[in-house]
Amino acid sequence: MSLLFCDIEKRFRGGPTIRAAFETPADRFSVTVLFGPSGCGKTTILRCLAGLERPDRGVIRCGDATWLDTSTRAFVSPQQRGVGFLFQDYALFPHLSVGSNVAYGLRGLSRAERRRRVSEMLDMMQLSGLERRSPRTLSGGEQQRIALARVLVRRPRFLLLDEPLSALDTVVRESLRRELRQLLISFGIPCFIVTHDRHEAMALGDQLMVLLRGTVHQSGPLDAVFSRPANTEIARLLGIESVIPAKVVHADNGLATLEVEGGKTRLVVTSPLPAGQSVWLCIRGEDVSLYTGAGGTTSARNQIPARVISLEHEGPVVRVILDGGFHLVALVTRNAAADLGLQPGAMVTAHIKAPAIHVVPR
C-alpha cells in the first residue's frame, strides 16, 4: 500500500508555528478534512503538500518518492508533484477561454488527444457549450467546476481543495456540497479539503483532522471525532456534541423518519429528504433533555431510552455521555444532574425535538 507521509514544521515570524504529522493512504479514495478556525494553519499545510510553501523542518513522502526532506535539502517542485490544487478563488486564467483554461496543463499530448480529453472533461462537468466563453462571465458554481476540470484533466495523484465552497453564496453552497462530494467520489482521487465550516466538513469528508493554533489536535474518522472530541476545546470548536450516521426510511410532508445505522433506533426530523438518503444527524448537547421514570405526554417527537456512560463536569454544566443504541451527549446543569441522580449506569429517557436535529445529507 502506498502512503502519503507528512511530518512538517513551519514557523512564521510573529505568528504561530505550524506542526502537522500524519499519514494517509495515497492510492485509495478518501476525503480528509483539515478543520479549524481561521489562522490555525490549515491552508499552510495544504500549500506545503503542494510544494508552494517550504516547511522549515520536516519530511513529506508520497509512496517511494521523497517530496521534501529538510535534512537532505530534498525538495520536489510543485510542477513535479502531480497534485491538483483548487484555490479558494479558483484562480482561473482571466485571459483564457474556458476551454483553454482546462487544456492549460495538458502538455506532451497530440492536439487531437488534448482536444478529446478536454471535451470529455467538459462533458463530465456539465460545461459543454461554454468552451469559448470567458470564465469571468460565468457563475461561481460554473467557475468552480472549470477549476476542478482544469485540475482533474491532468489526473492528479492527490487533490487539494482550499475552502472550495467559500467563494459561493450561501444558497448555492449547500446544494453544491452534495454535488462536489459526488464528483470527488466519481473521480476516486484521494482529497484533502480545508474548511472552517463544520457542516461542510461533514458533507464532504471521511476523515477529520482538527487543527488548533497550528497543531493537529485530533484526527480520525469523521463521526468518531465529532462524537468523541478529545477535549472540551475541540468539542466547543466542533460545536455539535453528537453526530450520528443514519438513513431516511420514510419521508412524509417535510417530516422524515430515520433509522440510526447499526441500530434499531428511529428518529423523526424535519427534513424534505427522500427515503433511502444517507445522512449525518447533528444534535447539540443543549437540545437533549433528560427524564427519569415514566414521563407524561411531551411535544418532543424523539424519546430515546439510554444508559448513562459517564459524566464530565464543566463548571456549571455537566456533559452526560449516553448510550441509546448510539453515542449521544446531553448538556445539563449541575443542579439538574443532582436532582435526577445521574451516575454511570443509570437509565434515563433522552428527549429531542424533531426541529433540533440538524440533518446533513451525504
Partner 1 sequence: MDWTAIWLTLRLAACTTVILFFLGLPLAYWLATTRFRGRFLVEAAVALPIILPPTVIGFYILWATGPRSPLGQAYQSMTGSMLPFSFAGILLASVLFNIPFAVRPFASSFAAVNRRLVEASWCLGVSRFQTFLRVVLPMSWTGILTGLVLTFAHTVGEFGVVLMVGGSIPGVTRTISIAIYDDVQALNYAAAHRTAIVLLAFAFVALCIPYAIQRRALPL
Strand order in the sheet with 215-221: 74-75, 65-69, 57-62, 3-11, 17-25, 215-221, 207-212, 31-35, 191-195, 158-162, 83-86
Dist. CA 168–CA 27, nearest whole Å: 31
- Minimum distance from CB of 92 to partner 1 (Å)? 8
**Per-residue x/- mask for partner 1, residues 7 to 46, rule CB under 8 A?**
----------------------------------------
Q: Residue 52, interface with partner 1 (CB under 8 A)?
A: yes
Nearest CA to 33 out of 236, 227, 307, 222 is that of 222
CB within 8 A of 273, min separation 6: which ones?
248, 251, 256, 279, 359, 361
Nearer to partner 1, 93 or 254 (CB): 93
Q: What share of the chain is helix, strand, coil (3-state, %, to 5)?
A: 30, 35, 35
The one among 46, 151, 193, 320 contacting partner 1 by CB under 8 A:
151
From 28-36, 90-98, 232-240, 341-349, span contacting partner 1 (CB under 8 A): 90-98
From 88-96, 189-197, 221-229, 314-322, span contacting partner 1 (CB under 8 A): 88-96
Nearer to partner 1, 50 or 283 (CB): 50
Q: Residue 140, interface with partner 1 (CB under 8 A)?
A: no
Binding footprint of partner 1, residue count (CB under 8 A): 23
The one among 5, 29, 104, 187 contacting partner 1 by CB under 8 A:
104
The one among 13, 73, 95, 132 contacting partner 1 by CB under 8 A:
95
Q: Give me the residue label for grid cell 439538574.
A: 336
How many other CB atoms sit within 10 Å of the CB of residue 167? 16
Q: Three cell numbers at 18?
A: 505550524
Interface residue list for partner 1 (CB under 8 A): 50-52, 77-80, 82-85, 87, 89, 91, 93-95, 104-105, 107, 150-151, 154
